[in-house]
Structure formats: C-alpha cells, structure tokens
Amino acid sequence: MTGVYQPRGRFITFEGGEGAGKSTQVRSVAIFLERKGIDFVLTREPGGTSGAEAIRELLVTGSPARWDSTVEALLNTASRRDHVERVIRPALEKGRWILCDRFLDSTMVYQGYAGGIQIADLERLTAFAIGTLKPDITFILDIPVAEGLARTKRRRGHENRFENREDEFHEAVRIGFQKIAQRASQRCVLLDATQPEETVTHRITSIIQEKFLIDV
Ligand code: TMP
C-alpha cells in the first residue's frame, strides 16, 4: 500500500446574534492557527464565493420586508450550496481547516426559530442542498440583545437589513441559539460574549488545542 495518510481538515463555525463579536473571534483564532502552522481558509456565510457574495448582497440590504423567511431560507441555502461545493468540501478533502463566520445554525435560528419556518422543512432543504456535512465544532457567542445591537450601531454600514428587525425577533434569535447549544451539546460550545475579548479567545483556542491539536 502506498500513500500518505492525510487527515481531513477540521470544520469550525462561529455563530451568534448581532454584535456578539464573531468576526473578531474568527480573526483571533486565525492568528492562533497561523502560529501553529495549520493550513486554513477563513470564510463566511452568507458569502465565501463570488456567487454567494452576490446572494449575500440581496439578503442583507434593503428593508426587513424585502423578503419573507421562506425566500431567506432558499437564498441562504443556495449560497451555502455554492460555498460548500466550491470552497468548504474541497478544502477539507485536502486536509485544510475551515474557519467559517456563520453556517447552517444561522438558518435554523434566523429563518427557523425566529423566522417561523419549521425546522423539519429546513432540514429537508439542507439535506437536498449540502447532504450531511456538519461542522466538527461550533462556537456560539451569547450576548444580551440590547448590548449586541449597541455594538453593531457603532460599526455597521449598509448591511443592516437584519439589525433593523424588531427586538422580539432578536430575542428569539438569542433563545434559538441557546436551544441549539443545548440540543447539539456534543458539537456546540456556548460562550458568554460579554466577557473581555481576550478571555473569549483564550477559551476558544484552549478548546481547539485540547480537541484537535494535542500534538502541535
Ligand atoms: P453577518 O452580519 O454576521 O455577516 O450575517 C449577515 C446576516 O445574515 C445576519 O444578520 C444573520 C443573517 N443570516 C441569516 O438570516 N441566515 C443565515 O443562514 C445566515 C448565514 C445569515
């Protein structure tokens, strides 16, 4: 037998409501992996390919009433299909790691728990689009709604379609993520995002070290 054993890359996702600090944490984890010599791709959803970024523009701009939850689920899933097939799956197969700012749990929460679509319908749609692919670990950043929204007001440009939803929607998003963290407790880690940025980063990188990098 010939051939060198090449482990499949690790698939790590970051989730949470608005202003929870996901993007900052993804960047800090990227620096950590760089120092460890890990080959990774930093990406996001909706987005991550040129086609998926075009779909993102449709989703995150305009008034909240521009699309209903069903259209949002279809657009997010279409963009995910493109992203998975062109970027995520090929990278994992080559042994590269993926750091992804939002993934499937965002659809389950924003369009499902908060948006009113049945979770079973979203599961069928997902199976059709991407099969059974799942992250190896998901970090869910939890923050009170008012605090998160106050953070986004300080930085946000034109991508504010979801931030402009009513407070009840954002509360439902927070509860939805907490529910996922509980139901998928093997895969998900719920983190208190009101803690200092460095504390949250340290917790995340310690978990990654322990789970995936014992020897590095
Ligand atoms: P971002 O601001 O974290 O980049 O995410 C863009 C917005 O898209 C955010 O408000 C959450 C929303 N979203 C969904 O509603 N469903 C999804 O499946 C994804 C990936 C994002």
Among protein residues, the one with the nearest Cα to ligand 1's atom 19 is 106
Among protein residues, the one with the nearest Cα to ligand 1's atom 2 is 18
Selection from 61, 66, 72 nearest residue 159 by Cα: 61
CB 29 within 8 A of CB 197: no
- Residues belonging to the chain: 216
Distance 114 CA to ligand 1 centre (A): 12
The model's confidence at residue 159, banded by pLDDT at 50, 70 and 90, is confident
Whole-structure pTM value: 0.95
Among protein residues, the one with the nearest Cα to ligand 1's atom 13 is 106
Average pLDDT over residues 189-194: 98
pLDDT of residue 2: 46
Residue 150, pLDDT above cutoff 50: yes
